[in-house]
Chain A
Amino acid sequence: MLTYVIRRMGLMVFILLGVSVITFSMMHFVPGDPAEVIATERYGEEITTETIEFVRAELGLDQPVYIQYFRWLTNVLRGDLGYSFRTDRPVLDEILTRLPATVQLALAGMLVALLIAIPVGIVSATRQYSAVDNISMFGALLGVSIPNFWLGLLLILFFSLYLGWLPVFGRGGIEHLILPALTLGTGMAAITTRLIRSSMLEVLGQDYIRAARAKGLKEKVVIYKHALKNAMIPVVTIVGLQFASLLEGAVIAEVIFAWPGIGRLLVDSIFARDFMLIQGCILFIAAMFVLVNLLVDIFYTYLDPKIHYEAK
């Protein structure tokens, strides 16, 4: 187990290095003069040629690319992700101040997904091929097919403007969370519902369930006490891996609902070509993602002691 974790950690470091090289080279081999773009972004209204040269020197953009990369990398290893070109604040600060908002939104989205998926998935599985099952499977396909940016706009239009029940934008009380969480959670709810259904079906076909039924246990006990517990194991994995799609969805939801999270920070910095911030965000998101995957795998072993990892 320990060797497995160490091996995975090593792989993680390698992946993150790869990620940083890719983002860095992407940033630096694109057409256009970053100093000029940054100067315009920073000073907007009126800039001069001197300002551009000043920006270039200040940000070290006049150095060769590999020197820029190694300087950046050594700083990262010391925990310094550099300064945002646009706001002149430390990149790590920018990311960390927005982290809670994104985590909150992602958790809320996940909650919405599970609140829908668990009951619907169980009912669908226990009544396979019934009308309920067909409708919910159709709904699940609809859920993954609906463009979430479109859904978000329609939700605002309907619930905030026509009905006036929920706020249009921003982070605040629980009422601010509902629409973004719905926008974010729909796709995941659809995927999770299907997963719970198929996982339940598989478990319900197992010998020990048949044995439990044969023993005359109540159907409710069989389903909730025996089947559900075992059916949840693969679900936990997928829910963990869904974290990635939650982050993707968060970009859209954060843009539409003016939610001050990391997704929007990334979009803003991409449009402003705020290279340091783009690099920092991508590295941070990738690190988070890889780490979550690792935790999911470890948790999975813990849930299901039958699985053993061996270092090959």
Chain B
Amino acid sequence: MHDLVTKIIEGRRPLTEVFRRLKKHRLAMIGAAIILALVLIAVLAPFIAPHDPIEQNLEHRLLSPNTEYLLGTDNLGRCILSRLIHGASVSLQIGVMVVGIAAFVGVTLGLIAGYRGGLTDELIMRIVDILLAFPGIILALAIAGILGPSLYNVMLALAVIGWTSYARVVRGAVLSVKEKEFVEAARALGTGEARIMFRHILPNVMAPVIVMATLGMAHVILAAAALSFLGLGAQPPTPEWGSMLNDGRAFMRSAPHLTIFPGLAIMVTVLAFNFLGDALRDILAKA
């Protein structure tokens, strides 16, 4: 990772250049298009969903895909397509919230650790070391499992383990730009510490953070679905994809569409963020 960070920072290029290259990157465009579509679906969900996602119709339960219900119905007769459409906003919210919090905390602490050095650095980085000693999902599992099943706890757990990698990368990046001339110049002019950190150093270390955040969206959505699958996720009747999949599992033999469609939705979303993040990494890292 550190190699990559240096590469990204060294190869810093203007935004227009990045966009130009992104536009030529086919997978990145596919990913971006899917993400845009998902955001639209999430925002417009109440208008485009053919049915109410939580309305039960017990006479129409476990229907296979048909013209009335394009993706069939679940065990309570709810329209699976409508639930998937409404679920898009749930998954995106989880992703944005967790990545947002993790990135904010991680970047801030990474900046402080890298800039201040000394005891502060030692303290922050040792906490990072400890948290990184747990395989991620296992710690999240423990946190969410012990605090009880809820979407909120899942997000909390994922944010608690998520910030460490941002802190690590940002700290490394800060160390490499801290001695650069423009920082020295700012310091010589008597600029305040906070201002140097956030106005001068931060913009220079944002590139790897953006790559990590994009890939992080993919990772977080997948991890949240995995925790939901283990029974630690969203509360009913929230149409969350991971818990839809988990609830549908008992019907896997009689009505496999309850399992297959939410799984596909998760996969496509994760894939889109991976396409985009991967392309960003390639473009930003290539000197």
Contact = CB atoms under 8 A, between A and B. Distances in A.
Interface residues of B, number: 40
B142 A270 contact: yes
A251 B223 CA distance: 12
A15 B142 contact: no
Interface string B249-274: 10011001001100100110011001
Contact of A286 (B133, B231, B270, B275): B133
Contacts of A299: none
A145 B267 contact: yes
A145 B217 CA distance: 11
Contacts of A146: 267
Interface stretch (B72-80, B110-118, B143-151): B143-151
Nearest to B134: A286
Contacts of A236: none
Nearest to B229: A149
Contacts of A251: 137-138, 141, 230
B226 interface: yes
Chain A at the B interface: SS class: helix
A19 B267 contact: no
A197 interface: no
Contacts of B127: 18
Contact of B138 (A18, A247, A255, A290): A247
A248 B245 CA distance: 20
Interface in B208-260: 218, 222, 225-226, 229-231, 245, 249, 252-253, 256, 259-260
Contacts of A157: 252, 256
Contact of B130 (A15, A142, A150, A161): A15
B142 A23 contact: yes
Interface of B: 27, 126-127, 129-130, 133-139, 141-143, 145-147, 218, 222, 225-226, 229-231, 245, 249, 252-253, 256, 259-260, 263, 266-267, 270-271, 274-275, 278
Interface of A: 11, 14-16, 18-19, 22-23, 26-27, 30, 138, 141-142, 144-150, 153-154, 157, 161, 244-245, 247-248, 251-252, 255, 263, 266-267, 270-271, 273, 278, 282, 285-286, 289-290
